[in-house]
Structure 1
Amino acid sequence: MPDPVKGRVARFAIGQVVRHRIFPFRGVIFDVDPVFNNTEEWWLAIPEEIRPSKDQPFYHLFAENDETEYIAYVSEQNLLPDTSGRPLRHRQIEEVLEPKGDGSYRIRMSGAN
């Protein structure tokens, strides 16, 4: 049986600012799973008509909407690049990422050991 993820490359990168295709939130990617890596209960809680397939990259985001900040786990099919240029306010971003100057982020380099 062929490997369903062989040759699959994540479309988005750590540090990239993205927005959800359906729901009104945006965020910055801080981790990527090559395929679904969450609980079956989480997956089944998504309404069937919009439930994504498991054989695609899933992204961990420092996400925010107009009301709050949170961690989101989103399938690749539901993300779009965010080109708004608006700054993100999520407080955890600065713990893991640092701004690159072009609107995206990079992994923060920790101090020398």
Structure 2
Amino acid sequence: MNDKNAKFGIGAIVRHRVYPFRGVVVDVDPEFDNTDEWYEAIPAEVRPNKEQPFYHLLAENSDSYYTAYVSQQNLLPDGENGPVSHPDVDDMFDGLDGERYVLHPEAFN
């Protein structure tokens, strides 16, 4: 599997399929690229397959802002619910263009 199989691009607004959080995609790994400890900490009954895109998100829930690492199978589009309030969004993006964020030009360097 490679990047062209990724459903979401950088700047896409997504929400988790199960857990109550949403976020904006800031990076995509074509397949799992985190630690074995992180992976093994996920309960076996919900542990995702490693051979799929994984997304780095600036995430938010009702209590806090954080970064998240989420498998493609656990994400759904969420742009219709408007902007993400994570404080780091403005550091990376120029704002919304429809339902996705536009990267700052300097982010391409």
Indicate whether the TM-score tops 0.5.
Answer: yes
> 1:7–1:80: structure 2 CA closer, same or farther, 3 Å change rule?
closer
> 1:6–1:20: structure 2 CA closer, same or farther, 3 Å change rule?
closer
The structure 2 residue matched to 1:103, chosen from 75, 89, 99, is: 99
5 Å-filtered alignment, 1:78-89, equals 78-89=74-85
Deviations 1:6-45, CA, capped at 9 Å, x for gaps? 6861011110000000000000000000000000000000
Find the counterpart in structure 2 of residue 59 from structure 1: 55
Q: CA RMSD in A?
A: 1.8
Stretches of 4+ moved more than 3 A in 1?
none
CA distance in 2, matches of 1:26, 1:16: 11
Deviates more, 1:79-88 or 1:37-46: 79-88
**Highest CA radius of gyration, 1 or 2?**
1
Find the counterpart in structure 1 of residue 21 from structure 2: 25
- Structure 2: gaps spanning 5 or more residues: none
Percent of aligned positions that are identical: 49
Aligned with 1:100: secondary structure? Answer: strand
5 Å-filtered alignment, 1:32-47, equals 32-47=28-43
Aligned with 2:48: secondary structure? Answer: coil
Aligned with 1:32: secondary structure? Answer: strand
CA distance in 2, matches of 1:103, 1:30: 15
TM-score by length of 1: 0.87
Give the CA deviation at 1:72.
0.2
Find the counterpart in structure 1 of residue 44 from structure 2: 48
Q: Which of the pair is proportionally richer in helix?
A: 2
TM-score by length of 2: 0.90
